[in-house]
Amino acid sequence: MTLEEQKKAARASAFARRKAAFEAQNGAACDVLSTVLASYCGTPLAGYMPINTEIDPRPAMAEASAHGVVGVPVIKATATPLKFAKWGPEMEMVVGPFKAQIPNKIEWIAPEIILVPLVAWDLQGGRLGYGGGFYDRTLETLRARGPVLAIGFGFDAQRAYELPLEPTDQMLDMIVTENQVLKI
């Protein structure tokens, strides 16, 4: 099986596990994430606007926005790093490129912490995303400039025991789930 076939199979399995976890969630995940983010109060943070069955970080992002700048990703073009626009819980959002929700008025920020959505994760900090490489390119670019904390946010059920990773895949520094915080 090729690497791409392995990734496709791993994604299919992880999407099914994530869907089940999403349907069974009790809302505790953001409590765990909020506790983690409180340790970095005031540090520029980039979250994300959840799609489909992604775990929703917005309650924790809203809490963090009371103490510092929070942003969300903006996809500028295929195969490019993400940029981040300032976000607040009361901001008007519109559909941007690739159907992602973005602020109606864009003010760019430079995050030092990035919440990374997950399809699957492993105990070594490996992450499987949707396959576009946006977060890998983004983390590589930001890390070349200085320290950036990459926090994967997902459900325990998304844990994989072996992920088909490539040398270009950027590792996570921490994983936060509804039940645990794993520092890599």
The pLDDT tens digits of the residues spanning 51-71 come to 889 999 999 999 999 999 999
Residue reference for tokens 């559909």: 95
Whole-number Å distance between alpha carbons of 104 and 61 = 18
3-state SS, residue 94: strand
Pick the CATH number of 3-183 from 3.20.20.70, 3.30.300.30, 3.40.50.2300, 3.40.50.10420: 3.40.50.10420
Q: Is the pLDDT of residue 115 over 90?
A: yes
Residue 89's CB is within 10 A of a number of other CB atoms, namely: 12
Q: What percent of the chain has pLDDT above 90?
A: 74
**Domain coordinates of the chain in residue numbers?**
3-183
Whole-number Å distance between alpha carbons of 109 and 174 = 22
Residue reference for tokens 């990035």: 114
Q: Is the pLDDT of residue 4 over 90?
A: no
- In the prediction, which pLDDT does 153 show? 96
Residue 183: band (very low, low, confident or very high) from pLDDT cuts 50, 70, 90: very high
pTM equals: 0.95
What single-letter amino acid sits at 111? P
